[in-house]
Amino acid sequence: HKNLPPSPPKLPLIGNLHQLGSSPHRALQAMAQTYGPLMLIHLGTVPILVASSVNTAKEIMKTHDITFASRPHLNIPSRLFYTCKDIAFSQYGEYWRQVKSIAILHLLSNKRVQSYQQVRVDEMERMMNVIETSNGSVINLSELLITLTNNVVCRVALGRTYEGMKFKRLLERVMELLGCFSVGSYIPSLRWVDRVSGLERKADEVAKEFDEFLEGVIDEHESKNGVSVEGRDLVDVLLEIQRDHAKGFRLERDMIKAIVMDLFTAGTDTTFTSLEWAICELIRHPSAMKELQQEASKIGKGRSMIPEEDLDKMHYLKAVLKEALRLHIPLPLLVPRESTDDVKLLSYDIPSGTQVLINAWKIARDPSNWEEPGEFRPERFLNSTIDYKGLHFELLPFGAGRRGCPGIQFAVNVNELVLANLVYKFTLTPAGKETLDVSETNGISVHKKYPILVSATPCC
Ligand code: HEM
C-alpha cells in the first residue's frame, strides 16, 4: 500500500536501463518532463529515485539529509577503492566521519588551502613559462591544465610531483571505469556479464597498478621518515595517525591508500574539467573574454602576475567561473546516495535502501530557475547572492549537506588564480573548430570531448 513516486514503464529484467543511453543526465531530464521532478526509475532490478528540481533536491539534501547520507555499495568503486575505504564511496557512519575529518583538517580546511599558496603560484608560473616559450605556435591547453592540477594535488598530498604520462593515464582509466555501467551491480543474476565483458578484469588491473604506485609513495615516505620536499604532506600525516592510533582510531595501510586515491580522483579531474569549460566558453564568447581581460589588467596594474590577495576584487572572474560550473557541471548526477531509513518525501513513501540520483545538471538549466538557461551569461551572477556552496539548490555543482564536496576551496583557489593570470598575460586564439565545440565525453564526469588547442600571444 505504499505511495511510490511515478515511474516510467520498464522492461523485464533490465528495467529502464536501455533508456539512459550515453548521456544519462540528458535522458533523465527528458524523462522528468513526463514523470515529474521526483520519479522512481529501475536500473535492472534496483529502484532508483531521481530528483530533478530545487524543491526535491532540497528535501533530500537538506530536510532529510541524514536519511540520504549513505552511498550504495557498487561493484567498480569497491574494486578500485579497497572495498570503499575511501571517503566518497564509503557508507555513512563512524568510519566515514573519521576519514572525512582527517582529510578536511590536514588538507582541505581554509587554513590548509591558504598554506599551499606558493605551490599554486609555482605551478601556475611553470605553466605560463611553457605557454610563453611556445612563441605563438599551437599548444594543447587542456593538457597543460591537467598537468597543473595533477601537480598541485601531488605536491600537497604526496610531497612531490609525479609527472609523466603513465600516472595521468592511470587516473584517466580510474575515471573511465567509474563511469562504466556494471551490470552486476543492478542485475545480480547477470553478475557474470561483468566478468565476461572484461570490466572486472580492467578494474582489477587498474587497482593493482594504482596500488603499486601508492605502495611506492608510502615506502618513500617511510624511508625518509616524514621529511618531504614540501615539508609535511598528507601521506606523512596519515602515517603519523597510523603510528599513534590517535583517539583509538586504527588507520590501516589500505585505508591510507584509499583516502589518497580518492583525493586524486575526486580532486584533480573535476578541478581541471571546470577550468577547461570556463576557458572554452570564454573563447566562444569574445565579449565575455574582453570584459574579463579588462578586469584583469585593471587589477594587475602592469605587475608580472595577479597575486591571490587581489582575486577577491575580481567579481567578473568569479561570475565567469560560476557560470561555467552552472552550464557544465563536472559531475552532472553528483555521486549516488542511498537512504538508510523509510522516509516520507513530499507525499511519497521512500523505503530504506533506495538509491538516489540528483540531476544537478537539469536543475542548473531549468528555465523556471534561470533566464535563458542555455546561454553563457556570467553577468547573471554579478548582482546575485546565488553561490555554489550547497545553500542554493538551483546551483549544486559541489552537492550539498553532509556528503557535499569538502574540496570547494581547494578547487576554487586553483581555478581563480590560473584563469585570472592566463587572460591577464595572454590572448588566446583558437586553432581549429574543435576547440570551440562543446561536445561532452561520457562517464561519471563530463569533460570537453575535444582538447582546447590555441595559440597564445602575450598581452602588452
Ligand atoms: C570543481 C571541482 C570539484 C567539483 C565540481 C566537485 C564535485 C563534487 C561532488 C558533486 C561531490 C558529491 C557531493 C554529494 O554527494 O552531495 C563531491 C564529493 C567529494 N569531493 Fe569534490 N569536487 C571538486 C573538487 C574537489 C577537490 C579539489 C577535492 C579534494 C582535493 C574533492 C574531494 C571530494 C571528496 C573527498 C568528496 C566525497 C565527500 C563525501 O562523500 O563525504 N573535490 N565533489
The cell for 20 is 539512459
Distances (CA, A) of 300 to 249, 306, 310, 423, 428: 48, 5, 8, 11, 18
Percent of the chain past pLDDT 70, that is, above it, reads: 97
Please enumerate, by residue number, every residue annotated as part of a binding site: 405
170, 213 contact by CB (below 8 A): yes
- Burial state string for 361-387 with b = 16 or more CB within 10 A and e = fewer than 16: bbbbbbeebbeebeebbbebbeeeeee
120 pLDDT exceeds 90?
A: yes
Residue pointed to by grid coordinates 536501463: 17
How many A from CA of 256 to the centre of ligand 1? Answer: 18
The pLDDT assigned to 241 comes to 87
357, 334 contact by CB (below 8 A): yes
Scanning 64-164, the segments in alpha helix (DSSP H) are: 75-80, 94-103, 110-115, 117-133, 141-158
Rounded to two decimals, the pTM is 0.95
Q: How far is CA 35 from the centre of its chain?
A: 28
460 pLDDT exceeds 80?
A: no
d(CA 361, CA 32): 12
Which pairing describes strands 355-358 and 46-51: parallel, antiparallel, or unpaired? Answer: parallel
127 pLDDT exceeds 90?
A: yes
64, 55 contact by CB (below 8 A): no
Closest-CA residue to 225 (of 243, 213, 248, 250): 243
Q: DSSP code of 4? A: P
The verdict on the CB of residue 397 being under 6 Å from ligand 1 is: yes
The cell for 157 is 598530498
Tell me the pLDDT of the chain averaged across its residues: 92
Q: How far is CA 330 from the centre of its chain?
A: 6
Question: Residues 136-184: pLDDT tens digits?
Answer: 899 999 999 999 999 999 999 988 888 766 777 888 889 888 888 788 8
Q: Whose CA is nearest to atom 43 of ligand 1?
A: 405
Distances (CA, A) of 147 to 141, 161, 189, 328: 10, 10, 42, 21
Question: Residues 2-17: pLDDT tens digits?
Answer: 899 999 999 998 899 8
The verdict on the CB of residue 99 being under 6 Å from ligand 1 is: no
Question: Residues 319-333: pLDDT tens digits?
Answer: 999 999 999 999 999
d(CA 79, CA 83): 6
What count of Cα atoms within 13 Å lies in the side-chain half-sphere of residue 227? Answer: 1
Distances (CA, A) of 48 to 7, 169, 440: 10, 32, 24
Q: Whose CA is nearest to atom 9 of ligand 1?
A: 398
How many A from CA of 264 to the centre of ligand 1? Answer: 11
The pLDDT assigned to 229 comes to 53
Which pairing describes strands 348-350 and 343-345: parallel, antiparallel, or unpaired? Answer: antiparallel
Question: Residues 220-252: pLDDT tens digits?
Answer: 998 876 555 566 889 998 998 888 876 667 889
d(CA 18, CA 432): 35
d(CA 150, CA 108): 16
Helix (H, G, I), strand (E, B) or coil at 348: strand
The verdict on the CB of residue 405 being under 6 Å from ligand 1 is: yes
pLDDT band (50, 70, 90) for residue 336? very high
Residue pointed to by grid coordinates 557535499: 404
Instruction: Give the strands of the sheet with 355-358, arranged side by side.
Output: 38-43, 46-51, 355-358, 337-338
> For the chain, which residues make up each domain, given as ranges?
17-458
Please enumerate, by residue number, every residue annotated as part of a binding site for heme: 405
How many A from CA of 364 to the centre of ligand 1? Answer: 18
Question: Residues 176-222: pLDDT tens digits?
Answer: 888 887 888 888 788 888 888 899 999 999 999 999 999 999 999 98
Question: Residues 38-69: pLDDT tens digits?
Answer: 999 999 889 999 999 999 999 999 999 999 99
The cell for 450 is 575535444
The verdict on the CB of residue 113 being under 6 Å from ligand 1 is: no
Q: DSSP code of 374? A: T
d(CA 396, CA 379): 19
Distances (CA, A) of 457 to 130, 138, 189, 282, 427: 12, 11, 58, 16, 5
Q: Whose CA is nearest to atom 3 of ligand 1?
A: 270
Q: How open is the CA angle 124-151-85, to the nearest 5 degrees?
A: 140
357, 49 contact by CB (below 8 A): yes
d(CA 45, CA 66): 25
The verdict on the CB of residue 404 being under 6 Å from ligand 1 is: yes
Residue pointed to by grid coordinates 581581460: 293
Scanning 224-252, the segments in alpha helix (DSSP H) are: 234-244
Q: 17-458: what fold?
A: Cytochrome p450 (1.10.630)
375, 104 contact by CB (below 8 A): no
